[in-house]
Amino acid sequence: MPTPMPTPATSTSRPNLTVLGLTYSDPHDLAVMKRINGYIELANLKLPQGTVAERLEYAWSENIKQRELSAAESVDTVGRDADCYLAARKSLAVYKSPVTKELLREAGDEIAMPLYTATKYFQEAWVWAGRKPFLQSAPDRSAPGKMLPNAPPGGGIWERRGSRDGMLDNGQDVKPVVGHAFRPDEPPPA
């Protein structure tokens, strides 16, 4: 289901978040932002002398650890979207060159993420046809010898948000990482 665009602050929907006079009320997006910012806050606390790149790597790895706890966590779309955001952001934060960052952002937004999403849709059709899934996640700790299922296709909006925020990061800085906040200039959902 597409994410709704921000509505004027007079909206009565709940839960919501108001930023720069606009209210964001999509519960899924708010849950994703809360998860992302929670792991960023944890990274800032755990790595007080860490670089921005190290803190983003830590936040991403903690999200992955949470997703690998159970089958329910591995297919959760909030965790998937947080993964897409943090992976994109940490990948760009390590580079200093704005040109390198822009090239990598474009490659991620326009090539890697669409290819990844298409592969996931292909797997869904493959499984629907009675075949064994070819994309596997981490080993299932509760069932030795089995793999956790993959989350459903999606996450592109959050990958783009993460790459946009990563463009602003200087990975070599030793300072707290600023969490994600919705902005009025965000593109409409695909």
pLDDT of residue 49: 97
| Domains in the chain: boundaries | 7-127+149-168
Q: Stretch 45-64: mean pLDDT, rounded?
A: 97
pLDDT of residue 10: 34
Phi and psi (nearest 5°) for 56? -65, -40
pLDDT of residue 135: 74
Helices 77-93 and 98-107: crossing angle in degrees, nearest 10, is: 150
pTM for the complete prediction? 0.78
Q: How confident is the model at residue 24 (pLDDT cuts 50, 70, 90)?
A: low
Instruction: Tell me which of 54 and 147 has the higher pLDDT.
Output: 54
pLDDT at residue 172 greater than cutoff 50: yes
pLDDT of residue 50: 96
Q: Are 135 and 120 in contact (CB under 8 A)?
A: yes
Mean of per-residue pLDDT scores for the chain = 81
- Quickly tell me which residue has 């800085």 as its tokens: 173
pLDDT at residue 29 greater than cutoff 70: yes
Q: Measured between alpha carbons, how far apart are the two ends of the chain, in Å?
A: 10
Beta-carbon contacts of residue 48 (< 8 Å; ≥ 6 apart): none
Q: Stretch 145-164: mean pLDDT, rounded?
A: 87
Instruction: Tell me which of 66 and 112 has the higher pLDDT.
Output: 66
